[in-house]
Amino acid sequence: MTSYAPQLLNAFLLTVVLVAALRAAAVPLGLVDRPDERKRHIGQVPLVGGLAMFPAFVVASLSLGPDLRVPWSAFAGFAAFVAIGAVDDRISLRAAPRLLMQFAAAALAIAPAHIVVESLGGASDAGLALGALALPFTLVFVVGLANAFNMADGLDGLAGGVAAGALFWLAITAMALERTAAAIPLLPLLFAVLGFLVFNLRHRWRARASVFMGDAGSLLLGAGVAYFVATFAGGEGRVASFVALLWTCALPIVETLSLIVRRLGARRSPMAADRRHLHHILVDGGVPAGRATALIVGASLALGAVGFVGAVAQIADGALLAGLAAVAVAHSLFVVYAPQRLPAWLARPARDDAALPSRAPANQQGV
């Protein structure tokens, strides 16, 4: 791994440089996020994180050997997701054409290289084989996870932190199963995300994010994580079962499905924006934004650790599926019953948030 350190460092540094450069162009290009009733950040914030991460990922990837980077079709598909997101950031596309374009981008990323999830279980589990549904299932998975990350992009550091955690666990799983070469192609994206988090994550020296990733970034990260899950779960290069790998990105998936069910139950469009996301519930319940991000990213990392153990220990896919169902039930119970019962210690202002204006905590633009 140390032999690839310069390329990975380049992904990190190039993202930092590009974010710093693109911030100045954000206002003339109209790529800024403005606060409203749902978006409670302060002032105009540049939406250039995705436009910085993607070229950094490409440049760092191309510096690797041909066998250690994603195929050109994947670069093209990711570029299409970034373009769709950037246009949506600028002019707010309607839901139906946006979704159709996302399916086209997903097909471009996976179909030429035949990156498909052929079975939900391990290679020997014929009962979970998808057969003719493999390609449609994979397309829905890529588009669904891209939108799940878009919906999760609601607090400083949240979508980036969850994506970094998912990519980390995917890489660690491949390496633990002696498939290090399979992990190398995703590492430039991981380090590009880390470079973006320098500007987006709250910490002692940054009270709030100075840059958002925008739809371009959230769609890139969601599609990227889905692509690598599908790559690890399908074909001759299988690393682990799809169910085990799904734990690395389980939280945004569960959150999105929960939102869709609740919106349909309220006779609203599944794509209608609201403040019923898990991060909104925590923040509106008095949890400081930084603490809410830490709790959700921490929970996602813990779920990823379960997937890692499941893959390495070869835990039965049925047990892993049952575990995912339990996570979904726990999430549903929390979002329905917990908002009025958050413990006082959880809602107590954090030291870093106490001095911020009352409308500062909730930001970003997840649907």
Q: What is the pLDDT of residues 343-364, one digit of tens each?
A: 666 666 655 444 343 333 334 4
Contact present, 77 and 105 (Cβ < 8 Å): yes
Whether the predicted pLDDT of 241 surpasses 50: yes
Axis crossing angle, helix 214-233 with helix 49-62, rounded to the nearest 10: 40
Strand partners, 32: 46
Angle between helices 214-233 and 134-152 (to 10 degrees): 140
pLDDT of residue 357: 35
Contact between 167 and 189 under an 8 Å Cβ cutoff? The reply is: yes
Q: For residue range 188-205, list pLDDT tens digits in order.
A: 999 999 999 999 988 777
Nearest to 53 by CA among 88, 93, 82, 24: 82
Q: How many other C-beta atoms lie within 10 A of the C-beta of residue 165?
A: 25
The model carries a pTM of 0.90
Return the DSSP state at 212: B
Q: Which residues are annotated as a binding site for Mg(2+)?
A: 150, 215
- Other CB atoms within 10 Å distance of the CB of residue 315: 17
**Mean pLDDT (whole number) for 197-226:** 91
Highest-confidence segment of 118-122, 234-238, 305-309, 353-357: 305-309
| The pLDDT of residue 356 | 40
Binding residues: 150, 215
pLDDT class for 35, splitting at 50, 70, 90?
A: low
